[in-house]
Structure 1
């Protein structure tokens, strides 16, 4: 399964590098603002792990805020795109979440994982490693598909079933790409997190009006604003060791 996910995102890397930052409203105008709002404005002296870095948007943000950043991704093509974005300003590696990470115990002050964990079936193995490399008192912040969205959008009949689902993303740079992910209930998400971390906050983000004026945002807001104000698409969890 990890090989299938890796190959899909190898194909999608060019789209993430060239267009997602401004053409994917769910990323640019919805998930990213909500995630960044929860993170420190000043990160000087902080060691940060970007766990599932894709083409490096978050990596670049952390670098700009002064952090010492390590970024990892399963996809070699995404890692290459991230390296092109940040150069030698961050340590960017191909790593698989759920495997032993090549970092010493208690290496990071903050771990951020954006829209990555729903591609992983067993969160226990992931969280065990993330806890190991996180410093005492350090924070883990991640975003995933909201289980309510998956239940409705993919017309499921059993909300509680842990299912492997398939979607097809049709990007102009790639054509159709089949992407697989796992549905977990809110109960499973919270319980998996609190087995290894202390829950700080759980956020069901709504789009912020102030981003309506950003380049490319107008059409997306017209289509999605009202819907996302009443139907959450993503879920953000902030927890501590």
Structure 2
């Protein structure tokens, strides 16, 4: 499974690096603004792990807020794109989150993981590792597919089934790319998280209106704003190591 995910995102790296920041409203106007609101404005003197860094958008934002950042991703092409974006300002490396993290205990003040964990079947192992490398009172902030969106969009017969699903992403830079991920129920997400962390907030984001005047944004808002206000696409969780 992880080889399939890595292959897909190696293919998608060129799209993430060249157009996703501006052309993907679900990222630029929806998930990212909601995630960034949950982060401190000043991250000076904080060590942060960007777990699933893709082409480095979050890595760059964390650096701008003053953090010392380590960024990891399963895809070699995504890691290369992240390095091109941030240069030597961050420690960027290839790593599979389903494997033990190559960091010492209590290395990080904060872990940010954007739209990554739904590509991993065993959350127990990755959350155990997240807890191990976080300092006392450290924070974990992650986003995933909203489970009810997946249930509706993929016409599942059993909402509670932990199921491997396949989607086709059609980007102008790549053409169609097959992407596989795991569906987990809300119950599974909450219980997996609270087994290792104290739940602080759960956010079902709403589209930000701050970007409606951006070039090319209006079509996305017309198509998606009302729909996402009714049916959330992503779920954001903020949790604490206590």
Equivalent position SS for 1:33:
helix
Partner of 2:113: 113
Equivalent position SS for 2:196:
coil
- In structure 1, what is the Cα distance between the partners aligned to 2:88 and 2:75? 19
Partner of 1:50: 50
Whether the aligned pair in 2 keeps the contact of 1:98 and 1:129 (CA below 8 Å) is: no
Whether the aligned pair in 2 keeps the contact of 1:5 and 1:119 (CA below 8 Å) is: yes
- In structure 2, what is the Cα distance between the partners aligned to 1:152 and 1:80? 35
Partner of 1:30: 30
Deviations 1:73-114 (A, max 9, x none): 000000000000000000001011121111110000000000
* Residue 190 (str. 1) matches residue 190 (str. 2): yes
> Could you tell me how far 1:157 is from its partner in structure 2?
1.3
Equivalent position SS for 1:69:
strand
Within-5 A mapping of 1:55-66:
55-66=55-66
Partner of 2:137: 137
Deviations 1:8-65 (A, max 9, x none): 1000000000000001110010000000011011110000000000000000000011
- In structure 1, what is the Cα distance between the partners aligned to 2:123 and 2:232? 22
Within-5 A mapping of 1:79-158:
79-158=79-158
Partner of 2:213: 213
Deviations 1:104-133 (A, max 9, x none): 100000000000000000000000111000
Equivalent position SS for 2:142:
strand
Whether the aligned pair in 2 keeps the contact of 1:74 and 1:94 (CA below 8 Å) is: yes
- In structure 2, what is the Cα distance between the partners aligned to 1:5 and 1:169? 13
Query: Please, what TM-score do these two structures have when normalized by structure 2?
Result: 0.99
Whether the aligned pair in 1 keeps the contact of 2:163 and 2:184 (CA below 8 Å) is: yes
Whether the aligned pair in 2 keeps the contact of 1:46 and 1:67 (CA below 8 Å) is: yes
- In structure 1, what is the Cα distance between the partners aligned to 2:146 and 2:214? 25
> Could you tell me how far 1:216 is from its partner in structure 2?
2.3
Partner of 2:237: 237
Length, aligned pairs only: 241
> Could you tell me how far 1:217 is from its partner in structure 2?
1.4
Equivalent position SS for 2:165:
strand
- In structure 2, what is the Cα distance between the partners aligned to 1:134 and 1:143? 18
- In structure 1, what is the Cα distance between the partners aligned to 2:63 and 2:118? 26
Equivalent position SS for 2:236:
strand
Whether the aligned pair in 2 keeps the contact of 1:14 and 1:173 (CA below 8 Å) is: yes
Whether the aligned pair in 1 keeps the contact of 2:29 and 2:209 (CA below 8 Å) is: no
RMSD: 0.6
Partner of 1:226: 226
Structure 1 segments, 4+ long, off by >3 Å, are none
Query: Please, what TM-score do these two structures have when normalized by structure 1?
Result: 0.99
Equivalent position SS for 1:44:
coil
- In structure 1, what is the Cα distance between the partners aligned to 2:205 and 2:17? 25
- In structure 2, what is the Cα distance between the partners aligned to 1:129 and 1:78? 22
